[in-house]
Amino acid sequence: MTGKRRILFVNDEMKMGGVARVLNTLMRALPEDLYDVDLLVLHKEGMLLDEIPAKVRVFEGSPFFRTVDEPLSAVMKSGKPGLILSKLRLLFYMKTGLIKKKIVRERMKILKDHYDVEVAAKEGFCTIFTAYGDSARKVNWVLTDYSVNNYSRNHMKLVKEALQHIDLNIADSDQALKAYMSVFSIDNGVTVHNLMDTEKVTRGMMEEEDTIIHDSLLNVITVARFHPQKGLDRLLRASKDAYIAGNPHHLYLVGGGELDDELHRLVDELKMDHVHFLGYRSNPYALIAHCDLFVLSSLYEGFATVINESLIAGTPVLTTRVSGTEEQITDPMYGWIVENDQKSLTEGLKKALSSIADLEDMKRYLKHYEYDNDAVLQQFMKVL
């Protein structure tokens, strides 16, 4: 007996995105003398598999779960009969409710140990998987705003039943918690902000970086998965209008994803020579630190860690009003929150780019910014 608490985190994949990143950060931060941490990745794929802490034992889901993270539309477009059959089989089990018994059988193939705590690291299917396991304590982690986008809308009855077996729901912002509790009519929830890998940010921002163009123009940056949620088309249109209005600047897009080709086409259509696609970067922090403004153009979020990472890197933020932002931009010297529509984003960008002296003052002010990581970690340890 080690006396440590045994924790199992369950995630569907480890692709580039906020969920996998904050999960890796939390697993890395949990003290080894107090916790033995395992991770089950139901469909073991994604570039962030490489960033899982070495101390974490990683398990892979059975073949039954190989399409758990793939939308039906994407699977059908693949034209692969085996993949399509696998997805249809999974959906059959979900629609009939047989998934509950199926999960029990599949768990026996994958997991041989008993856990003190099991955490569904992404609400939805992982919630159902955790709910019908045998771990002593079951926790559901909510990382998005369900009042804007309900990922479980096609399986509401199943998820509501699963939540009756969950001991605690943790949301990463007050708005995300309020929305989730309202949508699913539950009351066992708490807010715990996301943990930041502050050392990684501060170390990364010190690395040599010569990509950013230091001329007379302001440098604007965003780091995001190229997904409809992130509203990057809105950012491009806002950037175009701001440029035409007399606010010339460079715009850097860091990341990649399903909208890669579409965003490149839009830049070509709008004739935006000032836009630079930089691809995925494991260390975007030096880039952020060298820029004058970070922009988050998302349609919805839970608690966008990249906002606080930008502040740690010393760069002010312009963000649409999404869940978490009012808990992050708590000082006018941190940046601006604008309403969540194209016109407000465009006008907000124009204002920020025309406020050169303010941006310079903010950069100086943010040299003293601190994120209370210790307090957040203590909150997690209290509820796990």
**pLDDT tens-place string over residues 169-181:** 999 999 999 999 9
Those residues with Cβ within 8 angstroms of residue 208's Cβ, 6 or more apart along the chain or in another chain: 286
Q: CA 269 to CA 112: how far, in whole Å?
A: 55
Q: Tell me, what DSSP letter sits at residue 328?
A: T
β-pair type (293-296, 218-223)? parallel
Other Cβ atoms closer than 10 A to 174: 15
Residue 78 pLDDT > 50: yes
pLDDT band at 76 (very low <50, low <70, confident <90, very high): very high
Tell me whether residue 158 is exposed, middle or buried, using C-beta atoms within 10 angstroms of its C-beta: 0 to 12, 13 to 18, 19 or more.
buried
Residue 1 pLDDT > 60: no
Residue 222 pLDDT > 90: yes
Provide the CATH number for the domain around residue 187.
3.40.50.2000
Question: What mean pLDDT value characterizes the chain?
Answer: 96
Same domain, 138 and 218: no
Residue 35 pLDDT > 80: yes
Q: CA 220 to CA 218: how far, in whole Å?
A: 7
Q: CA 349 to CA 335: how far, in whole Å?
A: 11
Q: Which whole number is the average pLDDT over 321-329?
A: 97
CA distances from 82 to 42, 71, 302 (A): 18, 15, 35
Q: Tell me, what DSSP letter sits at residue 246?
A: T
pLDDT band at 3 (very low <50, low <70, confident <90, very high): confident
The 10s digit of each residue's pLDDT in 105-158 is 999 999 999 999 999 999 999 999 999 999 999 999 999 999 999 989 999 999
Q: Tell me, what DSSP letter sits at residue 133?
A: S
Same domain, 15 and 82: yes
378 lies in some domain: no
47 lies in some domain: yes
Same domain, 176 and 233: no
Q: CA 365 to CA 332: how far, in whole Å?
A: 11
Same domain, 160 and 76: yes
Structure tokens, 138: 């079951």
Domains: count for the chain:
2
Last residue of a domain, one of 170, 191, 212: 191
Share above pLDDT 70 across residues of the chain, in percent, rounded to a whole number: 99
108 lies in some domain: yes
Structure tokens, 248: 């010339």
**SS3 (DSSP) at 282:** coil
pLDDT band at 2 (very low <50, low <70, confident <90, very high): low
Residue 328 pLDDT > 50: yes
| Closest by CA position to 163, among listed 193, 145, 141, 178 | 141
Last residue of a domain, one of 150, 173, 191: 191
Q: Which domain holds residue 73?
A: 5-191
374 lies in some domain: no
Same domain, 20 and 166: yes
pLDDT band at 40 (very low <50, low <70, confident <90, very high): very high
As a dihedral over the C-alpha atoms of residue 279, residue 280, residue 285, residue 290, rounded to 10 degrees, the angle is: 0
Q: CA 28 to CA 200: how far, in whole Å?
A: 11
Sheet with 117-120, side-by-side order of all strands: 57-60, 35-41, 5-11, 117-120, 137-142, 168-171, 189-191
Same domain, 25 and 118: yes
pTM for the whole structure:
0.90
